[in-house]
Chain A
């Protein structure tokens, strides 16, 4: 064996041993320490409809995330907003349910789909899905091609057609503002979840308790119990996107 060959073999062996050691270290503290997490939301629309004209969830979300108020409908940015039943659940209305819910607003937001088309089409991985199910946005990587907006079947994404900062009444310094030319949307309050807090919209609705948030991978969580015990709808379920926002209708 040559000197070079010997050094090579020793080096590779050392690397393999180190890798094994590392793996055993991670295996010991790995899966056992962090049980699976799948964040999801259940919206009890009966409770939501009880407080007519309420926009607490929208106001709270848009305030903490520096979402601008742009008057021109063409350029508006919205993370959470309300749509009539027919628009939120197309093809699921009948002449009679429409009558019962006519003009009544239903909250809609990013569904944080299990199989998100927006993530599939993004050419720069500026939008991606985390292991806990959150569909995230990198506002520094987004090139503003708006392919994700064409791909999202729920109209959940907004584009900054103009500089959003002049349209902010006040800036929350805890959260970044955006620049013109990038796409944004609801993030299920990833920054609040990281601090162990509930999303801002859920927090704002704590009186009505119409919005319930939690870990669907945990069978004992509130969301798990609700989706098991109540009949729920999801938006456009036939598209195979698997939305993780569930609506209790009746």
Chain B
């Protein structure tokens, strides 16, 4: 199989990490079996808050997947050479993130055995159908691109010419997956928290901050392990991308707040009020959202000042706070707060249960395992080339 032999040889540290991930995945699988037999009542979701941590993770990770375009576009469209060594990492990150997205949607289904009904009864008026199409297509595109370019590299030959248009297609496709995911929310008449034209742009901005931030961190980890060095220029350029995207994301959020609070339309303000100060004494997410705000402020400070951003240690910290801030905002608050208050004004709070957290963690572990294995394969191919060049 596709250079898979590289994944089954490794150091003691590599195997310890893989086994650790497999243990988390195994535990999550057992918990999922329990959810399958008891029903989704095992989670913290309710009649009022019908989507929770699973769908919020899905939403956040579509962004991580789409962000691969931030390395693919400069390299293939602008011939920006510094990204040449990391495009494959962006694509493998995208493949792992899309797989996690699909798993999160799957574990959220009440009747997972009927999942293929989406294909059996295709319904073009449902945005969920288009999300399914765009995510599936994106997974396929990235799998083909990664496979073809990496095998070409493996054989020390240039990639075939036909792959170029496929790569170019993957650029608008990446934008489409997150736009369609935003449309899942922003087209619903009774949910004013999401009923905003800026939701898709905001999704994209937060994605292009969180994804490249994660990629910078992964590059730094790999350099630390002496496995791979993308070069200082690539990291510096990625940091600029994170900076601009984060500024846009915060700007878009402030525009949301202005529209809601200056117009003072209750339907538009109450969800934000629940998120920032609580409603009727219910304040479960207030601490989380403020944590996200503080982290965002720290992120902007560390990223905007060039002297700070160019210091690698500070940049690492900036990437961590950026990622955490956006994960809280999008991977926790954005989905849940849309349901609070409910359409009939009920303030029902949501908190994930332990089995729900275990299943969520297991899917993240699957993502980590995929990134680990894919990156190992990619780097082994490069190491092999470097070694043969020396001899």
Using Cβ atoms and an 8 Å threshold, which residues of chain A touch B342? 155
Interface string of A133-156 (1 = CB under 8 A from B): 000000001111111011111110
Q: How many residues of B contact A (CB 8 A)?
A: 46
Using Cβ atoms and an 8 Å threshold, which residues of chain A touch B123? 122-125
Q: How many A-B residue pairs have CB under 8 A?
A: 146
Using Cβ atoms and an 8 Å threshold, which residues of chain B touch A151? 188-190
Which B residues form the contact surface with A (CB < 8 A)?
38-41, 45-48, 50-51, 105, 108-112, 114-115, 117-118, 120-121, 123, 125-129, 132, 184-185, 187-191, 266-267, 338-339, 342-346, 348
Minimum CB–CB distance for B356 against chain A, Å = 12
Nearest-neighbor residue (CB-CB) of A183 within chain B: B110
Q: How many residues of A contact B (CB 8 A)?
A: 48
Minimum CB–CB distance for B252 against chain A, Å = 22
- Tell me if B48 and A155 are in contact (CB < 8 A): yes
Using Cβ atoms and an 8 Å threshold, which residues of chain B touch A163? 39
- Tell me if B39 and A120 are in contact (CB < 8 A): no
Q: A75-B47, A144-B110 are in contact. Are A162 and B189 (CB under 8 A)?
A: no
Using Cβ atoms and an 8 Å threshold, which residues of chain A touch B344? 83, 87-88, 90, 108, 154-155
A76 to B47, CA, bound (A): 7
Minimum CB–CB distance for A88 against chain B, Å = 7
**Is the C-beta of A182 less than 8 angstroms from some C-beta in chain B?**
yes
- Tell me if A146 and B111 are in contact (CB < 8 A): no
Minimum CB–CB distance for B102 against chain A, Å = 13
A179 to B187, CA, bound (A): 29
- Tell me if B189 and A117 are in contact (CB < 8 A): yes
Which A residues form the contact surface with B (CB < 8 A)?
73-76, 83, 86-88, 90-91, 108, 117, 120-126, 141-147, 149-155, 158-163, 179-183, 236, 239-241
- Tell me if A74 and B46 are in contact (CB < 8 A): yes
A248 to B97, CA, bound (A): 52
- Tell me if A142 and B111 are in contact (CB < 8 A): yes
A83 to B349, CA, bound (A): 19
- Tell me if A90 and B110 are in contact (CB < 8 A): no
- Tell me if B40 and A161 are in contact (CB < 8 A): yes
- Tell me if A158 and B190 are in contact (CB < 8 A): no
A124 CB contact (under 8 Å) in B40, B118, B190, B267: B118
A117 to B126, CA, bound (A): 10
A123 to B180, CA, bound (A): 14
